[in-house]
Chain A
């Protein structure tokens, strides 16, 4: 269940250092793209074996004459194998950006390709689709947009039965979707949402993963919250279709859960929930309980396998839960629908521990969920105490300023519930940790520490005494001049000294 379908492969001849360097470069490029809100990634489905004896797959650059020749052979060749081979050669050429450019500017080339795509020769169809797929993957808009004449056919084929072919069409569509709003403005009226919804019933795992990918690209679009997600007109929008129920079914833990599929649909769900269009609808479909159970399952898997890929699924699940919880509080939703199970807290901490080791950048997201769980819930705050989770929480303080602020916020959630809660916070390691955070230079960290101290002193006056004895006043003095902090510092000094 938790095995991934494909292993990650390294290009031949690459040392570990080189790989790390490339990954860092890619990461930097992605960060930059995200800040410019241009985060686009395309998925390429290629199952050619690399050329023997070479460092990797070298795409051949084809000239205009060669392309024409291959197209003509494919169209008019007398022998089937010959026609197929011509298309295979064309496809190999199209792996190269230069060939792609030459192809799209050659008059009639796309029309011929579309003709082959819709021909009655199944294998030619398949190869033509692979050619299109190569084109769809291009980073250059002109190349991808040249594929537009084929989209109505790609969508038609989604209702077919050949799983390999459908998978290919889906990845191609997914690449095109993400290309530009202009492309989506054609795909939406062509009925892409109902076509995708029809695919969700497929029994093939490969089709489902491809579907999830395509859908996630559609939902990531800038205009998605207004034009793609809402149920403005039933059947043509995502929330108006049967997709939400099916998505949740595919996320249910159990023997049928497939990791690759779950990752894609979890991201789909994230793009929907963070758009805040109609999360109440998702809750009525049982999203909170499904995702909660999935979180438990993830924590179990983390305990067993320590697979470094699990955070790819954990991340969107955490985000969905965090955002959905805010809806449940606001709307009038039935008791059963709300997340109450204490095991969620246990699971979350197991995941936090996992993140600390494998992916510390996800700690803030996990702590965000913890905040949303504990903020308005005496029950979850009690769980934190009864499961002895305060100390593990404190162990996260040194990680980063963002993490510290979140940890302190969660602790404030607990402390603000009153004396019965603060009784379990002191005596204990908390005070010592706070004296530590008061030494931080970050204003937000110190500010949150001051808030927590106020609550602690209020509900547990003895803690103030201990604070004084441990040189607390000196720790406070450091911040007396800080504009954002001085009022609170002063108030605390008064409380500590005079009660």
Chain B
């Protein structure tokens, strides 16, 4: 297909529309038995007109799949230690360090040193755990905000929020970034006093320091593995969930 040089020149030129030649139609144009009318055409999603282009698109997606050795190996550097005070993790690749830093040191609560996966969750945590004004306000109005970004609902209690997360947003009932605050008040009903059993020694995490805390299963909720902890079993404030061996519990998770 030969293109006149004017075309390339025009592309390189400035914007502008051609001055149209005068339009003059005769009523006989397109009259029966002829049928032509100039019209724009749309094609809906599944139209076969798109078949070729769609197939090319998916070949491309699949092609990316077959690249294996092409990606360069991560450059190794001489071992170095994380510079954050108290952390002695050692690295030999920068990308590993980046992820470590963002996971453990970036969104850390300055009050209790817990680390969170995002600034959003950290902000909510500080508000709900360390802001005394929050406690006062929450007695009068709904202050517990939904964790899902884009959802503007607020709730009276942490439990109500959890119910909302489970029912409305299909979150797991044991979502690990939604812990009710540990209460030390004796007036608090038993159901809300819980120590995160899983935080103690479960899956290698420590409860103190900068661990991301795991929310243990409040009584009566549907547990992922189908276990139910009867509401009457609660071994007092500050104690772990008694004789139930945590090892055994983890094995079945």
Q: Footprint of B on A, CB under 8 Å?
A: 6-11, 23, 26-27, 30-31, 34-35, 37, 39, 41-44, 46-50, 56-57, 75-76, 83, 107-108, 111-112, 115-116, 118-123, 125-126, 149, 152-153, 156-157, 159-165, 186, 189-191, 193-195, 197-198, 213, 225, 235-236, 241, 263, 267, 271, 274-276, 296, 299-300, 303, 311-312, 315-316, 319, 322-323, 325-326, 329, 340-343, 346-347, 349-350, 352-353, 356, 359, 361-362, 364-365, 368, 371-372, 374-383, 385-389, 391-392, 395-396, 412-413, 416-421, 448, 450-452, 454-455, 458-459, 487-488, 490-491
Contacts and interface: CB of A to CB of B under 8 A. Distances in A.
Contacts of A48: 68
A153 B43 CA distance: 38
Contacts of B39: 375-376
B216 to A, nearest CB: 13
Contact of A118 (B48, B73, B168, B212): B212
A165 B44 CA distance: 36
B63 interface: yes
A389 B19 contact: no
B160 interface: no
A371 B39 CA distance: 8
Contact of A395 (B2, B48, B49): B2
Contact of A375 (B38, B74, B99): B38
A361 B54 CA distance: 11
Nearest to B28: A458
B134 to A, nearest CB: 22
Contacts of A412: 36, 38
Contact of A50 (B3, B69, B171, B224): B69
A253 to B, nearest CB: 13
B151 interface: yes
A451 B35 contact: yes
Given A311-B56, A389-B3, 13 more contacts: A34-B54, A46-B71, A108-B225, A160-B102, A160-B103, A241-B150, A274-B45, A312-B57, A316-B57, A322-B43, A365-B49, A382-B19, A459-B29
Contact of A191 (B7, B55, B149): B149
B1 interface: yes
A378 B20 contact: yes
Given A329-B40, A353-B3, A162 B56 contact: no
A33 to B, nearest CB: 8
B99 A342 contact: no
Contacts of A452: 36
Contacts of A316: 53, 57
B172 A149 contact: yes
Interface stretch (B111-119, B135-143, B188-196): B111-119
Interface centre among B28, B121, B148 (most CB of A within 10 A): B148
B243 interface: no
Contacts of B117: 156-157, 159-160
B211 interface: yes
B148 to A, nearest CB: 4
B105 to A, nearest CB: 10
Nearest to A236: B150
A416 to B, nearest CB: 5
B211 A361 contact: no
Interface stretch (B125-133, B202-210, B228-236): B202-210
Nearest to B2: A392
Contacts of A413: 38
Interface of B: 1-4, 6-8, 10-11, 13, 15-26, 28-30, 33-46, 48-71, 73-74, 95-96, 98-104, 106, 115, 117-121, 148-151, 168-172, 175-177, 202-205, 210-212, 214, 224-225, 250-253
6 contacts: A9-B70, A41-B62, A47-B73, A191-B148, A191-B151, A392-B1
Contacts of A455: 29-30, 36
A153 B224 CA distance: 15
A382 B20 contact: yes
A159 B96 CA distance: 18
B96 to A, nearest CB: 6
B211 A387 contact: no
Given A296-B11, A361-B56, A381 B20 contact: yes
B3 A392 contact: yes
A324 B45 CA distance: 14
B43 A274 contact: yes
Nearest to A360: B52
A48 B63 CA distance: 17
